[in-house]
Each structure stands twice: as C-alpha cells, then as structure tokens.
Structure 1
Amino acid sequence: MKKQVILSISGLHFGELAGDGEAIEVITPAEYYFRRDKHYILFEEFAPGTKEAIHSKLKLSPDKIEIIKGGHYNTRIVFERERMNMSHYNTPYGDLMIGTMTKQLSLQVEEEEIEAKVLYSLEINDEWAADCNVNIHVKNA
C-alpha cells in the first residue's frame, strides 16, 4: 500500500433518527501507514455548514476499528465484535454519550486495497437510536 490513498466511507442508518434509512458517503484523499499490526488512515473532513477542517484518523485491525476525530468534534468511537463501547461525542451543539454495539466486523487487506465492514447498533444517551452499517474502502491514489 502506498502512502497516498483514496478513502471511501459509506454507511446506512435505519431507525428513529434516520426514518427509512439515511445514506452517508465520504470520499477523500488520505495518508496511509502501517505500524504495530494496525493500519492507520489520516484524513480531513469538514464540519457541516462550515469550512472548519476536522483532523480524523482510522485505526484498523482484525479485532477492532477506531474512528478518532479532533477539533470541535473531539471523539473516539470504537467498534469491537460483540462488545458495547461508550464514548463522548463532542459537537458544537453539546456533548452526547454514544454507545456502539458491534454485531459484525470484518477486515480484508490486499496488496493495493483494504476493505472493512461494520454492522452495529447505535445508542445516544442510553437509548437505542439506529441500526447502522459502515463500509470503509482504502485504495492507492
């Protein structure tokens, strides 16, 4: 895998927050590196309605996927198979306590691309909010 990559994150949320299903997709240039048996992808997102860059990092391993965001959205979301993980999700509108119960997690690593999939239930402030899936695709730029 080269250092310069293209990251695609797509997902679908079903539940009270999303109604019949809300699709989300982000495609962005990113930087890749591998260290201590983990794949790291560094990228920038932009906060909705602003020009503020959010420095984000994905840490991928066969047993765990982490999404780490900086700036106003300072948070760390962890997905581990068959495990509930709680985290604070900072937003410009206030802090939320979110929980992710990971039902399925897969990671496939090839020479020139990485594919990860996560199925999970999302809780916000201790109440079920949605069932979600996230697909992460990384390929050489």
Structure 2
Amino acid sequence: MKPVLVTVQSIQRDEDGQELKLELVSAGKYYCKQNVQYIVYEESEITGMAGVTTIIKLLPDSAVLLRRGTVRQRQVFRKGSSFKATYKMPFGEVMIHMKTYEMEIHLVEGIGTVRLGYDVTIEGIGTSYNQLTITVQEDNA
C-alpha cells in the first residue's frame, strides 16, 4: 500500500441549474491487486459522512465506489450504462438510479486523476447531474 493524498472535487447541478460545489482533501492509500486499482480514503464532516470509509475500485471498463460505515453504498460507473443502487443511511434507505456519461481514468502507479460525469435520480427527490474529479498525489508527509 502506498500512502497518497486524495482530493475529491464534486459539482452537482440540479434540474433548475443550481450548482453545489464541494472539495475534500484526505490522506488515503493506493494499492493494486490482480490488475485492479484501489483508492481508499476517509470522508469528513464536509461531505456529511464523517466516519465513512470510501473505496474506489478501478477496473479496465468501469469504476465501483463503495462506502462503509454510517453510510453504506455501492455505485457502479460504466460509460453509457445505467445502474440502480441502494443508499443506506442511519435514518433509512433510498433507491438511486445512475447513468454514466463520462469516465476517464488516468492513473500511473496510483498517481493521476479519475473523472466521472453522471446523472443521479433519487426516488422522490429528483435528478442531478454530477461531475466528480478525484486527484491522487503522493503523500510526502
């Protein structure tokens, strides 16, 4: 495992065009196992998910985001594909539907960027377009 610094920049645009931008910087870990790359980091109060570990699993044709802790989630991203998932929170579960439009993975030995663009529809709430840029750097601390 290699210690890394993970920067997650998120832009959510709702149906009315309103944008919400968030940025999280967290110490994390990178490793590769059987040609699958993994990025692991802890969420924080900024994201509203303190106590949650996020694992990003990068495969040749898809990315899988796993969250464990007070929030449990599994999202699959594959360009041009739609997926359903359950988002489990302390106060209940929500069904989400996702369609991925953009997916670029540029990591060399754990350093680089992952870019995702996707729609999320949350049952009973609405749809938003999301852009996620994950930058992984060496942690020299």
Q: Do the structures match in fold with TM over 0.5?
A: yes
Equivalence for 2:103: 105
Runs in 1 of length 4+ with deviation above 3 angstroms?
46-52
Q: Supply the distance in 2 between the matched residues of 1:73 and 1:51 (Cα, whole angstroms).
A: 7
Task: Give the number of the structure whose residues are more often strand, by fraction.
Answer: 1
Aligned residues: 139
For structure 2, the residue ranges without an aligned partner over 5 or more in a row are: none
Q: Give how far 1:81 is off.
A: 0.7
Structure 2 contact 31–110 (Cα < 8 Å) conserved: no
Equivalence for 1:8: 7
Equivalence for 1:134: 132
Q: Give how far 1:94 is off.
A: 1.6
Equivalence for 2:34: 36
Structure 2 contact 56–66 (Cα < 8 Å) conserved: yes
1:53 alignment partner, SS class? coil
Q: Supply the distance in 1 between the matched residues of 2:114 and 2:24 (Cα, whole angstroms).
A: 15
Structure 2 contact 49–70 (Cα < 8 Å) conserved: no
Q: Give how far 1:50 is off.
A: 8.0
Q: Supply the distance in 2 between the matched residues of 1:65 and 1:51 (Cα, whole angstroms).
A: 21
Q: Give how far 1:93 is off.
A: 2.6
- Taking structure 1 as the reference length, the TM-score comes to 0.87
- Cα distance change, pair 15–43 in 1 and its aligned pair in 2 (3 A): same
Moved more, 51-60 or 41-50: 41-50
- Taking structure 2 as the reference length, the TM-score comes to 0.87
Structure 1 contact 67–76 (Cα < 8 Å) conserved: yes
For structure 1, the residue ranges without an aligned partner over 5 or more in a row are: none
Aligned-pair identity (%): 22
Partner residue of 2:79 out of 78, 81, 97: 81
